[in-house]
Chains A and B, each alone.
Chain A
């Protein structure tokens, strides 16, 4: 039995936590509300720590850091609500290239990620169908209507419709032929843009687009769950700090069971989410058949944990928690955005039950 991160991985987590608490902090996400490029310096610095090579093969600039390390990066990014393009770059577009198994494309694009460039994955990730750009074999025309970190990415893996009407994945530089429109979003941690392609040069990934899309969603569910877990811990820490300090009726409010038991409930959900996240990390790193089940469970548990932690953090802060100036609102907004980015809770719940039915057999 060896169900925990290794000492080396825990050291990496400490280093990432120090970095996030010094170089990022929640003030960065406030800056990102008005300035879409606010995270760029921190993303570069993180790249210098080796973060941008996580999960990449050695011949594409990787240094042996794998899925477990990326999960830890996600957790620490979530704790401070880091508005950094790690998910779009490493959690989505790199995964699409990896799962595609198109080696030529990997050789071409992954080293750019390793070198610190931000990239993205332009495809509906929530299981719903949207408008897709058209690929004529060489060029991309049309629009991807909602693209995570679309404003900072230098290249994108795009789900497109080919000349036969089928779905395909293509990769393209987001050059001058692409018009980017930042969308008004609630959550500055997960900024989105609309990308309009006007004859953008692109190459087709040799793969089954549907299979890759499913695989990317499954893996991203794990990374995103770790990010939600970190954020849920961050929200709980904020609520606990306030409950120890704020006094009412002659005592700190945390001494009252109304608050104390509520925060114990938040803690319980966070701990349940933690073990499901760890299990999914194991399944991902081991490429285990349990991944489908574990990723869905991590996704649901972490979504529930963050939703509850974020809403009760506001409640613990009382009226102050409802103000723009307190960070409670940042968690509250991120909780909803992160809950739907990869599709609603009910979809993951159904995915989980289908995996369970398969596991149990007929």
Chain B
């Protein structure tokens, strides 16, 4: 057992670091953020430019096959790059969905023409994608998608999309979207779905940003009002949409790490040393605070170690263990706890927003709201626990009253 980089890993780390030193500015503090005050649109533009810069240097998609234009690297190399990049001021990544989910699914299930047309522009930051999956009545139960794709009856070889999507990240900035739509309502719910892509600027596509609890709007409602898509915009076979979607979601699950910002317990300790506790003594001298610091360390370090274990398995050519599935639950709770701790220590001043309190507080606010969202996004805590219970522990499934029943008959 050891945590050292192997010789090739160390060489890769040095290469990443040297390139980053030459192309980005090193952070002065761990909680320093890129582009404070930038609007969302400007941040997305900056992300496009940074993605282009990375792609030209070969860091655009580290784990992708070389055939797709990736580096053909290992998950460990991806991790090394992220660790290094985390020490530099770079824009918030707008391409996680494009490169981590959509394009891998398109590359696996799409046509040669689609691969030739779309992979490179996404990799070089020229085209941003969103994924049109969730709907008002299809969240955790994603198979209940109601957006219809109906064959055109006017002689055009294509489909008309009608329906509403929701929680679509960056739809307002995206160039294209991958849509999951129902093509055959007479089949059971998972069997009648097909994937397409749409031009987000096509007639009938209407995007309305959702203002989140934090006041920001990263997510959107997307209305598809009789949007025409030619059959060449179908990704994969008709009624194979669930398989395509699973490829996208599994790609997301493989892109491990990056959940917990580095140095979190050190920040907790620093806050406790600065903030007053009882009778003028620093908070760190209070046993209750010390207990919370211990918890913070246990959770952040535990998550890092889980990731280290998964990377070890991948490095040995084995599948990572199922324990990673609970990492998201622990991660979200840890961030929430950290934010509450930071609020407690700051006292009534923390009623005021980061507009007044500055950069490092803006980071606490992000974690505070982000954690609440993280408990829902990509599988709620409850769905994850079902999945752990059933797939990992082998407990019997939830009662499914919708199994084998045509979608049309489900309410």
Q: Which residues from chain A sit less than 8 Å from chain B, CB to CB?
A: 1-5, 68, 236, 240, 243-244, 251-252, 254-255, 257, 259-261, 263-265, 267-268, 271-272, 274-276, 278-279, 281-282, 285-286, 293, 297, 300-301, 346, 349-350, 352-353, 356-357, 360
22 contacts between A and B (CB under 8 A): A2-B315, A3-B308, A68-B1, A252-B396, A257-B386, A260-B386, A261-B389, A263-B393, A264-B384, A264-B385, A267-B326, A268-B329, A271-B306, A272-B299, A272-B306, A275-B305, A276-B305, A279-B301, A281-B1, A301-B302, A353-B293, A356-B293
Q: Are B330 and A268 in contact (CB under 8 A)?
A: yes
Who on chain A is nearest to B79 by CB? Answer: A1
Nearest CB of B to A222, in Å: 13
Q: Are A267 and B301 in contact (CB under 8 A)?
A: no
Q: Are B309 and A275 in contact (CB under 8 A)?
A: yes
Given known pairs A3-B309, A4-B313, A357-B269, the reply for A263 and B395 (CB within 8 Å) is: yes
Q: Are B1 and A297 in contact (CB under 8 A)?
A: no
Using an 8 Å CB-CB cutoff, how does the interface string of B282-322 with A read, 1 for contact, 0 for none? 00100100110110011101100110110111011000000
| Chain B residues whose CB sits within 8 angstroms of the CB of A68 once the complex forms | 1
| Chain A residues whose CB sits within 8 angstroms of the CB of B293 once the complex forms | 353, 356
Q: Are A251 and B301 in contact (CB under 8 A)?
A: no
| Chain A residues whose CB sits within 8 angstroms of the CB of B309 once the complex forms | 3-4, 275, 278
Q: Are A260 and B390 in contact (CB under 8 A)?
A: yes
Check if B355 is an interface residue, CB within 8 A of chain A.
no
Check if B265 is an interface residue, CB within 8 A of chain A.
yes
- How far, in angstroms, from A352 to B290 measured CA to CA in the complex? 9
Q: Are A278 and B1 in contact (CB under 8 A)?
A: yes
Q: Are A264 and B388 in contact (CB under 8 A)?
A: yes
Given known pairs A268-B326, A300-B294, the reply for A254 and B266 (CB within 8 Å) is: no
| Chain B residues whose CB sits within 8 angstroms of the CB of A356 once the complex forms | 265, 269, 293-294, 297
Given known pairs A264-B389, A271-B326, the reply for A3 and B301 (CB within 8 Å) is: no
- How far, in angstroms, from A60 to B296 measured CA to CA in the complex? 43
- Which 8 pairs across A and B sit closest by C-beta, in order of nearness? A260-B389, A275-B305, A254-B395, A271-B323, A264-B385, A255-B396, A264-B388, A282-B1
Supplied contacts A3-B308, A276-B305, A293-B297, 14 more A-B pairs, CB within 8 Å: A1-B315, A4-B316, A5-B1, A255-B398, A263-B395, A265-B385, A268-B388, A272-B306, A278-B305, A279-B305, A297-B298, A297-B301, A349-B294, A356-B294
- How far, in angstroms, from A77 to B396 measured CA to CA in the complex? 30
- How far, in angstroms, from A286 to B323 measured CA to CA in the complex? 25
Check if B274 is an interface residue, CB within 8 A of chain A.
no
Choose among B4, B385, B386, B395 the residue that contacts A240 (Cβ–Cβ < 8 A): B395
| Chain B residues whose CB sits within 8 angstroms of the CB of A1 once the complex forms | 3-6, 9, 76, 308, 311-312, 315
| Chain A residues whose CB sits within 8 angstroms of the CB of B382 once the complex forms | 257, 261
Using an 8 Å CB-CB cutoff, how does the interface string of B373-411 with A read, 1 for contact, 0 for none? 000000000101110111011111111000000000000
Q: Are B312 and A267 in contact (CB under 8 A)?
A: no
Nearest CB of A to B392, in Å: 7
- How far, in angstroms, from A357 to B323 measured CA to CA in the complex? 30
Q: Are B396 and A3 in contact (CB under 8 A)?
A: no
| Chain A residues whose CB sits within 8 angstroms of the CB of B297 once the complex forms | 293, 297, 352, 356
| Chain A residues whose CB sits within 8 angstroms of the CB of B389 once the complex forms | 254, 260-261, 263-264
- How far, in angstroms, from A271 to B270 measured CA to CA in the complex? 29
Nearest CB of A to B271, in Å: 12
Nearest CB of A to B16, in Å: 15
| Chain A residues whose CB sits within 8 angstroms of the CB of B3 once the complex forms | 1-3, 282
Nearest CB of B to A103, in Å: 28
Nearest CB of A to B83, in Å: 11
Q: Are A260 and B395 in contact (CB under 8 A)?
A: yes
Q: List residues 184-200 of chain B with CB under 8 A from any CB of chain A.
A: none
Q: Are B290 and A244 in contact (CB under 8 A)?
A: no
- How far, in angstroms, from A308 to B192 measured CA to CA in the complex? 44
Nearest CB of A to B282, in Å: 12
Check if B216 is an interface residue, CB within 8 A of chain A.
no
- The residue in B311, B330, B389 that gathers the most chain A C-beta atoms within 10 A of its C-beta is B389
Nearest CB of A to B13, in Å: 11
| Chain B residues whose CB sits within 8 angstroms of the CB of A252 once the complex forms | 395-396
- How far, in angstroms, from A335 to B128 measured CA to CA in the complex? 53
- How far, in angstroms, from A200 to B299 measured CA to CA in the complex? 49
Using an 8 Å CB-CB cutoff, how does the interface string of B1-38 with A read, 1 for contact, 0 for none? 11111100100000000000000000000000000000
Who on chain B is nearest to A243 by CB? Answer: B395
Q: Are A353 and B306 in contact (CB under 8 A)?
A: no
- How far, in angstroms, from A244 to B302 measured CA to CA in the complex? 30
Q: Are B1 and A285 in contact (CB under 8 A)?
A: yes
| Chain B residues whose CB sits within 8 angstroms of the CB of A264 once the complex forms | 326, 384-386, 388-389, 392-393
| Chain A residues whose CB sits within 8 angstroms of the CB of B265 once the complex forms | 356
- How far, in angstroms, from A282 to B312 measured CA to CA in the complex? 14
| Chain A residues whose CB sits within 8 angstroms of the CB of B392 once the complex forms | 264, 267
| Chain B residues whose CB sits within 8 angstroms of the CB of A282 once the complex forms | 1-3
- How far, in angstroms, from A237 to B311 measured CA to CA in the complex? 27
Q: Are B393 and A272 in contact (CB under 8 A)?
A: no
| Chain B residues whose CB sits within 8 angstroms of the CB of A346 once the complex forms | 291
Q: Are A251 and B399 in contact (CB under 8 A)?
A: yes
Choose among B1, B76, B287, B393 the residue that contacts A267 (Cβ–Cβ < 8 A): B393
- How far, in angstroms, from A155 to B279 measured CA to CA in the complex? 52
Who on chain B is nearest to A250 by CB? Answer: B399
Choose among B4, B294, B396 the residue that contacts A353 (Cβ–Cβ < 8 A): B294
Nearest CB of A to B294, in Å: 5
- How far, in angstroms, from A236 to B309 measured CA to CA in the complex? 22
Q: Are B294 and A352 in contact (CB under 8 A)?
A: yes
Who on chain B is nearest to A2 by CB? Answer: B2
- How far, in angstroms, from A297 to B296 measured CA to CA in the complex? 11
| Chain B residues whose CB sits within 8 angstroms of the CB of A275 once the complex forms | 302, 305-306, 308-309, 323
- How far, in angstroms, from A171 to B74 measured CA to CA in the complex? 54
Nearest CB of B to A293, in Å: 8
- How far, in angstroms, from A350 to B287 measured CA to CA in the complex? 8
Q: Are B301 and A276 in contact (CB under 8 A)?
A: yes
Who on chain B is nearest to A270 by CB? Answer: B323
| Chain A residues whose CB sits within 8 angstroms of the CB of B311 once the complex forms | 1, 3
Who on chain A is nearest to B293 by CB? Answer: A353
